[in-house]
Structure 1
């Protein structure tokens, strides 16, 4: 039963990499091997604000517009993917075509609240995945994403 699983809604306890201002973001980007461009600094400051978040590119674009950060949606997609490749974000695919970017990069899983299009964290130790096949020759399993879809009871 889903209520037996402890869940967090992203308010606390996330990844150790947090930034409070652009100098923190610049250091974080440099440690990840990314050049701290003006757009990366601006978007990083919006993303890494001290709380765990699940954002889509469209959500971040709206936030950037409200913060008067002049950036295109294409640049946001590119930056989110660069941050993901650098290990600063984790991409969570939902419904094949929709991706969320998670600032909590530790091992954990998600509830997906279907009628709200919202992710809620499930701690990694709460779910056991057994019976995994061997990875193909020359490959290794990097992580497993479990998305548990939920909706209000009818």
Structure 2
């Protein structure tokens, strides 16, 4: 699993996070810096906007949930995060932007990487005219066996 992870920078320091934002074409505002430090200082992980907002409140970062959502989407558009849609209303943001798939553990609301490149998707339908397939995301749902 660890060999798949891509590290944009080593964002342990505020300067590393600032450089990461600038390299992604984003202005390093105080809120972006604070949220990026929370996101990227703990290694690769999957996080919801609500959980990141909770972490921000605990860290005394004055930010609204709407700002957290907006920032996560800006980071995703800039290529710093990968969005993992699990259900219609449940989205996680993955700090590992490499090509990989996920397990979703129902009942725990947890997303984990599927190790290795073991998943293949065959016989995809041809895309409509003028379109191309960019990526296929596989989410395998799990639950604890009885």
Q: Helix, strand or coil for the counterpart of 1:144?
A: coil
Q: Is residue 107–residue 123 contact of structure 1 (8 Å, CA) maintained in 2?
A: no
The 1:50/1:66 distance shift into structure 2, 3 A limit, reads closer
**SS at the partner of 2:92?**
strand
Q: CA RMSD in A?
A: 1.3
How far 1:50 sits from its partner (Å)? 4.8
Structure 1, 89-98 or 120-129: larger mean CA deviation? 120-129
Q: CA deviation at 1:21?
A: 1.6
Q: How far does residue 137 in structure 1 lie from its aligned partner after superposition?
A: 2.3
DSSP-derived class of the 2:22 partner: helix
**Count of residues in correspondence between the two structures:** 144
Unaligned runs of 5+ in 2: none
The reply on whether 1:16 has 2:18 as its aligned counterpart is no
Q: Displaced runs of 4+ in structure 1, greater than 3 A?
A: none
> C-alpha displacement at 1:76, in angstroms?
0.2
SS of residue paired to 2:130:
coil
With the length of structure 2 as denominator, give the TM-score of the two structures: 0.93
More strand by share: 1
Give, in whole Å, the separation in 1 of the partners of 2:46 and 2:82.
Answer: 9
SS at match of 1:153: coil
* TM-score normalised by the chain length of structure 1: 0.89
Distance 2:112 2:67 in 1: 26
The residue number in structure 1 matching 2:17 is 25
